[in-house]
Structure 1
Amino acid sequence: MDHVQLIHRAREAIKRAVSSLIGPGTDYALLDFPDYTNVGDSAIWLGTIAILMEVTGRLPRYVSTASDFDAFAFRASLPEGPIFLLGGGNFGDIYVSHQDLRIKILREFRDRRIIQLPQSVKFRDERNARQTAEAIAGHQDFHMFVREHASLRFVQQNFNCPVTLVPDAAFGLGPLERPRAPEYPVMLLLREDAERVGYDYSPFEAFGAVPWVDWIREYRGFHSLHRLKASFVCLLRGRCTSLDRRVALFNLMANTRLKRGLSLLAQGDRVITDRLHGHIMCTLMNIEHVAMDNDYGKIHGYIDAWTSPFDGIVMADNPQQAVSMLGSLKDRAAQIGKPRRATLRRTKTSLQP
C-alpha cells in the first residue's frame, strides 16, 4: 500500500472515533500539551488539533500542560463540554506527571465527558494500575482510545470503560512533504530515554559519518522567542485574551518542533529508528525506513496494528538485523518500481496558531 492510501485510512479512523463522541460546534478542552523537546508528541498535538477542528469547527476553549492545569480557569473558559486528554505513549507509570494529571481530572470532573486520545499503556507496578482502575471506575463517562492490541487487551482486562483501537493522532497531519534533499544514505534516529533498549549498536559504526541523533534537544531561548511570536500573532488578529495567546503559543512551539524533526529525518535517503514517531513521520513523508522496537514493544505493536501494509517499512529486532534490512528495502523498492530517492519538495506542516 502506498503512504497516501494508508494515511487516508488512518485519518478517517481517527475522525470516526472522535465523531462518535462529539459533534460540530462542540466546545472542548485539550489537556497535556507536550511542552518538552520530544518531537513525536508535538506531531500528536498538531494532528489532534487538525482532527478536532475538522470535527467541531473550533479550536479548544481551554488548554494546559501536565503541570499547569488550573481548575478555576478551566471552568471559567469551559462551563460545560468534554475534556480531551492528549494521546501518546505516556499512559501508565513511566511518565508520572502525565498520569497524575489524568487521575486528577478523572476524580475532580465526574460531571464531564472525558476522552483519552490514542495512547500506548504500560504499567511497571501493578499498584499504579489499580489506582488508575479505581479512578476510571469512579467516572461514568470516560472513553479510552488505544493505539495497539497489547494496550487494548490490557484496558479490556483491567479497566471498566469503553475502549477503542484507534491510530496515532499524528496521522491527523496528513501526507507531509520532505523539507530537504537527502544528504546521507542513511540517518539514525535512536532514543536516549527510559524506553531505550540495551542494544549492541556497534553494527551501525559501519555506516561511518552519518547522522546519529535523538530529537530531544532544542536551542536556548526557545520559549521566550515563541512567546513573542504568539503575542504578535494575537495582536495581528485582534484577539489577545490569555487563552488566545496560550493556544497560539502551543501551536507555534509544536510547529517549530515538528519541522525540526522532519528536517532531521529528511537528511537520510533512508532511516533507521527506534522511535514510534520516527516511523510515523517517515511514513507521512514517504521515506523508507527500518523500525526497531522500544523496551516494551509499542513500536512493532503499532506497526502490526496499523502500518505494516506500507511499502516503505521493515521491522528489525536489533541493529545487526537493521543493517541487513536496508538491503531488503532496496529490493522491495525495485520490485514495486518506485524510485529509491524521494523528490525534494516544500514542507507544508503549519497549522494556524
Structure 2
Amino acid sequence: MSFKELKINLVEWLLLKVKYPSEYMMGTPGLNRFEQYKDKKKIILTLIPSHDNLGDHAIALASKTFAETEFPDFEIIEIAINDIYKHAKALRRIRHPEDMVFIIGGGNMGDLYRNEEWTRRFIMKKFKHYKIVQLPATAHFSETRKGQKELKRAKKIYNAHPQLLLMARDETTYQFMEKNFPNKTIIKQPDMVLYLKKEQQDERTGVLVCLRDDKESFLKKEERQLLQTVIRAEYREVSTFTTTIGKRVSRFSREKELNKLWDKLRNAEVVITDRLHGMIFCAITGTPCVVIRSFDHKVLEGFNWLKDNPNIKMVENPETSEVINAINELMKNDSNQEIPSREHYFSDLKRKILGDAE
C-alpha cells in the first residue's frame, strides 16, 4: 500500500469514527464494529465500490435506498468490496436467523472485472448459510481459455449455494444464468438506479457528450473523434462529462458527487452517450438522450427497459449523420411524459426476495 493510499484510508477511518462512534469503540476498526447489531435483523449490503465510476456508486446508493425503503425493520450494513474479507468472520459471529446478504449489481459478473467476480465468489462461500441476493447484474464470460476457466469456477460456487437468488438486468444475462445456474431462482429486473428519481427541470440548454474510451467502447478512436468534431461544428454549446471522475469516491462522498453530475444533466438540452448509466441518469432526470451501443449487449438490452420513453433514442449503428439526426429529433420533441415511478419497475421485488417467487 502506498503512502497516499494509507493516508486516504486513515482519513476515511477517522470520518467513520466521528460519524459512527459506537461502531469504532476501542479505536480499532472492525474490532467491536458490529456488536450493536447483535440480535437484530440485518441486510449486509456488499461489493460497495470505492473507485471513481459514478455509475457503480449510483447502483450502491440505489441499492441502499431500496433496502432502507422496502425493509425498514432490517438494519442495513454497508461493506466495501475489499473490506468484506476482513469483516466476514465478525459478521457471521453476530448472525440473526433472518439476516440476508445483498450483493450490489452492475456489469462486473464475469472475467472482465476479476476482483469483483472473485469477491462475489468469496461472499458465496463464506455466507453459505445466509440468503444471498445478487441484485440486477450483467454477466460476460469471454470465450477465451481464461474466460471459460472462470466460468467453470463460477458455476461450481454459485450452484453450491443453497439460498442464492440471481437477478439479470438484461435478456442475454437471464438466458446465460438459466443455462449455467439451472437450479437457482433467476428473475429479470432493471438496473437498480431506476429505483431513484430526481427532479426534472424545464429550462435546458446545450449538448453534453459522454463517450467511452476504454475496452467497453464500440466506437474506434477515429470514429469517436470524428463524431465529437461534427457535434461541436453543428451546435453552439457543447461540453463533455464523464461518469468516471478521476478521483476516489467513498460511500460518504458518493451522493455529493452524483448530485453534481445529475444537476449538470438536468441543465442539458440533449445528452449523447454510450454509457449505460449515462442513459439511465438521463432517464431518472428526464433528460433527452441519444444512446450509442457498447461493445456487448449491456447498453442495447438496458435500453429495452426504457424504449417507451420518447426522450431516449438508440442509435445501434452510430454513423455520424444518424447521431445528428437523432439529436435534432430530440430537440424538436416537446414531450413532457412523466418519468415512470419506481413502482413501475420494482413493485413486486420485495415479495420475490422474501419468497423467491417466480
In the superposition, the TM-score normalised over structure 2's length comes to 0.73
Shift of the alpha carbon at 1:26? Answer: 4.3
Please, which of 53, 68, 90 is the counterpart of residue 73 of structure 1?
90
What is the total number of aligned residue pairs between the two structures? 281
Find the aligned partners of 2:55 and 2:265 in 1 and give their Cα distance: 12
Alignment of 1:81-120 (within 5 A): 81-120=99-138
Q: What is aligned with 1:27? A: 42
Contact kept, 8 Å, 2:68 with 2:76, in 1: the verdict is no
Aligned to 1:166: 189
User: C-alpha separation between the residues in 1 aligned to 2:241 and 2:231?
Assistant: 14
Q: 1:218–1:59: structure 2 CA closer, same or farther, 3 Å change rule?
A: farther
- The question of 1:311 aligning with 2:310 is answered yes
CA distance in 2, matches of 1:77, 1:261: 38
Instruction: Report the residue type matching 1:141 in the other structure.
Output: Q
2:242 to 202, 209, 214: 214
Which residue in the other structure is 1:290 paired with? 290
| Aligned equivalents of 2:93, 2:211: Cα separation in 1 | 43
Larger radius of gyration: 2
Q: Which runs of 5+ in 2 are unaligned?
A: 1-39, 338-358
Displacement of 1:78 after TM fit? 3.9
The superposition leaves residues 148-168 of structure 1 with CA deviations (integer Å, 9 ceiling, x where unpaired) of 101101111111311100111
Q: Residues 77, 291 of structure 1: CA spacing in aligned structure 2 closer, same or farther, 3 A cutoff?
A: farther
- Aligned residues: percent identity? 21
Distance 2:148 2:274 in 1: 26
Looking at structure 2, the residues matched to 77 and 253 of structure 1 have their Cα atoms a distance apart, in angstroms, of: 29
SS in 2 for 1:211: strand
Kindly tell me: are residues 78 and 196 of structure 1, through their superposed partners in 2, closer, same or farther at Cα, counting changes over 3 Å?
farther
Contact preservation (8 Å) 1:265, 1:278? no
Whether the 8 Å CA contact 2:279–2:291 is kept in 1: the answer is: yes
Structure number with the bigger relative contact order (C-alpha 8 A, sep ≥ 6) is 1
CA deviation digits over 1:282-305, x for unaligned, max 9? 01111111011111021111112x
Check conservation: 2:45, 2:78, Cα contact below 8 A: yes
Shift of 1:170: 0.7
- Structure-2 residue corresponding to 1:324: 325
Equivalent position to 1:203, from 218, 227, 231: 227
Label 1:289 to 1:88 Cα distance change in 2 as closer, same or farther (>3 A): same
Q: Contact (CA 8 Å) 2:134, 2:165: kept in 1 or not?
A: yes
Provide the rounded CA distance (Å) in 2 between the counterparts of 1:303 and 1:129. 26
Q: CA deviation at 1:319?
A: 5.1
Aligned-residue offset at 1:267:
4.6
- Give the Cα–Cα distance (whole angstroms) in 2 for the partners of residues 55 and 212 of structure 1: 36
Match of 2:279, SS?
A: helix
Question: RMSD across aligned C-alpha pairs, in angstroms?
Answer: 2.3
CA contact (8 A) 1:29 1:78 kept: no
Partner SS state of residue 117, structure 1: strand
Instruction: Quickly say closer, same or farther: Cα 1:68–1:93, change in 2 above 3 A.
Output: same
Q: CA deviation at 1:216?
A: 1.1
Shift of 1:142: 0.5
* CA distance in structure 2 between the partners assigned to 1:53 and 1:150 by the alignment: 30
For residue 61 of structure 1, report the CA deviation from its aligned partner.
4.2
- 2:211 aligns with 190
In the alignment, the residues of structure 1 paired with residue 51 and residue 257 of structure 2 have an alpha-carbon distance, to the nearest angstrom, of 9
